[in-house]
Amino acid sequence: MAEHESLEFGKADFVLLDNVSLEEFMANLKLRFEKGRIYTYIGEVVVSVNPYRAMNIYGRDTIEQYKGRELYERPPHLFAIADAAYKAMKRRNKDTCIVISGESGAGKTEASKYIMQYIAAITNPSQRAEVERVKNMLLKSNCVLEAFGNAKTNRNDNSSRFGKYMDINFDFKGDPIGGHINNYLLEKSRVIFQQEGERSFHSFYQLVKGAPDAQLRSLHIQRDPTAYTYIKVGGQIKVLYHVQIKRDYYGWQGSRDLWCRHGTAWFVELTENSKLVSILGDLLSTKDENVEKALLYRTVATGRDVIDKQHTHQEASYGRDALAKAIYERLFCWIVGRINDIIEVKNYDVRVHGKNTVIGVLDIYGFEIFQNNSFEQFCINYCNEKLQQLFIQLVLKQEQEEYQREGIPWKHIDYFNNQIIVDLVEQQHKGIFAVLDEACMNVGKVTDEMFLQALNGKLAKHAHYTSRKLSPTDKNLEFDRDFRIRHYAGDVAYSVVGFIDKNKDTLFQDFKRLLYNSSNPVLKAMWPEGKLSITEVTKRPLTAATLFKNSMISLVENLASKEPYYVRCIKPNEVKSPLLFEHERCKHQVEYLGLLENVRVRRAGFANRQIYPRFLQRYKMISEFTWPNHDLPSDKEAVKRLLQGCGFEHDVAYGKTKVFIRTPRTIFSLEEQRAEMVKRIVLFLQKVWRGTLARMHYRRMRAALIIIRAYRRYKVKSYIREVNRRFRNVRGMKDHGKHVKWPTPPKVLRKFEEIFIQIYFRWWAWTLIKDLSPEQLVQIRAKVATLECLKGQRADLGLQRAWEGNYLVSKKDSPGTASSFTLISSDLQRKDKFMRVLFSCNVRKINRFNKAEDRALLITDRHLYKMDPVKQYKPMKSIPLYNVTGVSISPGKDQLVVFHTKDNRDLIVCLQGMVPAGDSRIGELVGTLLSHFKRFKPVRCLKSLSTLLFKSMLSVRFKKIFLKVSYAHQGCMYLLHLSKYSKDSNIMKYYCK
């Protein structure tokens, strides 16, 4: 029941009428039509009035408004009934169907297309390509089937001249995975004849008006449809339709090419013109002589003899028309088969993918009353009788009978049961179809008049059958031609002319052999019976009436097995006006559709019913008394307790096996509570499962940790044992274990290994130096200091030779002046009280005037002296050692040394006088100073000197220093270029050109 429309639009649900009467029903229907509300509910049945105009109520926004909503939440709409069928299919895993009924021109085909559009739009949340493909094919198949199966009639510009039932298969997630189409009784007689004002199938006009000129020339077809006998009645096409027809021609791409080749045979008006026969042979991919023979002769087998019997003019015309109708019908069935091949469910395994469910959509021809009603209208109206009977059985009869069976108090409502009419048509031995088949099987010439006489004889006393012979005063019927049936939708007079031929549906075997022998494989496959020999005796084929009756019975059984939803279409007027509401016309349709009886049953009855176990299975989580399982005496008592707890006991009735719920609102409320509880249950299950997973993960992690710890302990112990084994006798080894290879440690002991190796090498070094003399230890310490500071900075550190330190006392460096230096150093020792000489050597000094002079350098533990060797090493400059702030050395072979002082009067000298000449004393000088300062000034001096000496020359004190030293061996000239000193430099700046 819609709640979102004001009363100015009338009642959105006929169940809400104040008084249930035909007058109020019609008044409400007319009011809503005039207000633009073309849909109205009768409970879960949608009544649709054809608006004869385009309405903006089918867009994406409207789809979103109805998606997932209940019927009562939104105004009445086709989308609401489609969504209800889809939800029922998903929730209860039950097949559903939507039956669209009404007379021709009431809007059934458009309704089916909108339903398909909605179902396609609300599915496919994961945007899978296969689902999109199926949806597109289901939607696009409509335009192909309409082109070949629909035609313009006096009542409807797009009348379905065939019945269509489509099953859409869904997987367990609710996504479409395929489908299947069944077609019923194509009106193939329209191919050769149309009533005044009507047209043949759309495909003819789409071809002649839409195909390119080159294609028409290749098919030998003219652009003017009035040039052809078969379609000239409907050949006068209004200018308004030209654009639509041409656009529709390109809509059926899948079967257009085959249609152009084999669907144009009936454009050729067959005469004895050999050119036309040649054209037909080319179109059918057969030989010309075979075509001519099949058209003009009939091959007959008499015993063992086979003769060719020439046709009369009437027989030839009949054969030509039968061939045209048969080719078109086979082509239409082939198109439906091709569509089914593409959209059918493939590779679906129930054990793997779960059970698939189905939504069926029935769009079938409506009830028809024409000026001349023949065999096709008789079958169409019989089909509508069957569908009306199904509606009566499911909605009216079965509902009332179920109330009585379940013991629910109920006041019986009278309704018209049209089973008597269905029996009149299909009953064995007595029905009209049975009489017609019997007439067709009689030996000898049987006429339509003889068939009518047989009907009069067997059905003379039937209340719903009459003829002119039975009612001589009824001048609306012709003698020996017409009979009338009182249908549920009204009285219809049928002309028996053509009943016998149309029921036999005879096509000469010559045509079947002709088309079977076609060189086109598709056309050949359409006529498998053509391979039979002319002398071969076959079983009599079923008549058209029997085939149609069997298909209708199967269709009704199929629909009855599903949960039905109904769309009842009403045609408001005969002139296709969007404003005119013909009261009597609509009233007649309301009466024969049984809509008023439906309202009465819906008002008096219950909207929903379910057996107790199934009801509990779905809603037991709502009540604490039924979740997870109840302990009450029966499921019925459990359902009572559940509904009482929800406060719905006033809106339900309890039958013997089912619970009956009166209003849909109760169902919707139960669904809302269930949805809320399902969320909580899912959260609880997720919590329990996640806790289980966490505990499982914790146990696995704890077990893994125990294993890892045990394994690590094992690896550590193994490593320690291996180290102990390899180094057990290291003290007794000649090299103290230097050749022993260390085992590979586990990852956890890599740092330990580094420390352990350092400890080993410290011990190894201690074993090497423990027996050295004090003088040797001093030299060793100096060399170690040099190696730590200058390793990698200079190529030659002089580590391989013995360091003498005081080279000026050596006769090798100063053979003639050693005694003089010894006296001077002794005087300085007495004067300055130094303890020992650290280093002495001949040097070359460059003064501020760029003059190079030989000098001597003496470094003691207290002072640094610059001496003049020419004047018996007279001291020229004395610098207290504590005033030296740093020493910089060059990385080259020049052995340049800079002594930095606190007063910024740096001393720059080059060591010289080495014996042998290529020897280097830079390393010895640096090592001696480092060893001395480490010993006596371990903190302050170590920081200043070691930092400076560790870097290469000038790398600490300068940001960028460029040295270029040119050494002239004879002149002993040095040029020093220094630039870009750092801001904090205390070095004296020398500028030399």
Q: What is the Cα–Cα distance from 919 to 905, expressed in whole angstroms?
A: 29
Q: What is the Cα–Cα distance from 856 to 872, expressed in whole angstroms?
A: 10
> φ and ψ at 326, to 5 degrees?
-65, -40
Q: What is the Cα–Cα distance from 114 to 38, expressed in whole angstroms?
A: 14
> Which tokens belong to 19?
């008084």
> Which tokens belong to 355?
């059970």
108 known member of a binding site:
yes
Query: What 3-state class would DSSP assign to 859?
Result: strand
783 known member of a binding site:
no
Q: What is the Cα–Cα distance from 10 to 25, expressed in whole angstroms?
A: 10
Q: Which residues have a Cβ under 8 Å from the Cβ of 129 and sit 6 or more positions away?
A: none
457 known member of a binding site:
no
Q: What is the Cα–Cα distance from 962 to 960, expressed in whole angstroms?
A: 7
Amino acid at 882: Y
Which residue bears the tokens 């130096």? 769
CB atoms within 10 A of CB 637: 14
Report the alpha-carbon angle 235-236-237, nearest 5. 100
Q: Are residues 759 and 783 in contact, defined by beta-carbon separation less than 8 angstroms?
A: no
Q: Are residues 891 and 794 in contact, defined by beta-carbon separation less than 8 angstroms?
A: yes
Q: What is the Cα–Cα distance from 79 to 63, expressed in whole angstroms?
A: 7
607 known member of a binding site:
no
102 known member of a binding site:
yes
Closest CA to 793 of 945, 958, 965, 926: 926
105 known member of a binding site:
yes
Q: Are residues 366 and 569 in contact, defined by beta-carbon separation less than 8 angstroms?
A: yes
Cis peptide before 628 (omega within 30 of 0): yes
> Which tokens belong to 251?
């809509």
Q: Which residues have a Cβ under 8 Å from the Cβ of 940 and sit 6 or more positions away?
A: none
Q: Are residues 144 and 254 in contact, defined by beta-carbon separation less than 8 angstroms?
A: yes
120 known member of a binding site:
no
Q: Are residues 13 and 76 in contact, defined by beta-carbon separation less than 8 angstroms?
A: yes
Q: What is the Cα–Cα distance from 185 to 377, expressed in whole angstroms?
A: 11
235 known member of a binding site:
no
> Which tokens belong to 634?
């029966």
Q: Are residues 294 and 514 in contact, defined by beta-carbon separation less than 8 angstroms?
A: yes
Q: What is the Cα–Cα distance from 290 to 296, expressed in whole angstroms?
A: 10
Furthest CA-CA distance within the chain:
172
Task: Enumerate the active-site residues.
Answer: 104-105, 109, 156, 159-160, 366, 368
Q: What is the Cα–Cα distance from 439 to 454, expressed in whole angstroms?
A: 8
* Residues β-bridged to residue 842: 856
Closest CA to 503 of 513, 494, 490, 516: 494
**Numbered residues of the known binding site:** 102-109
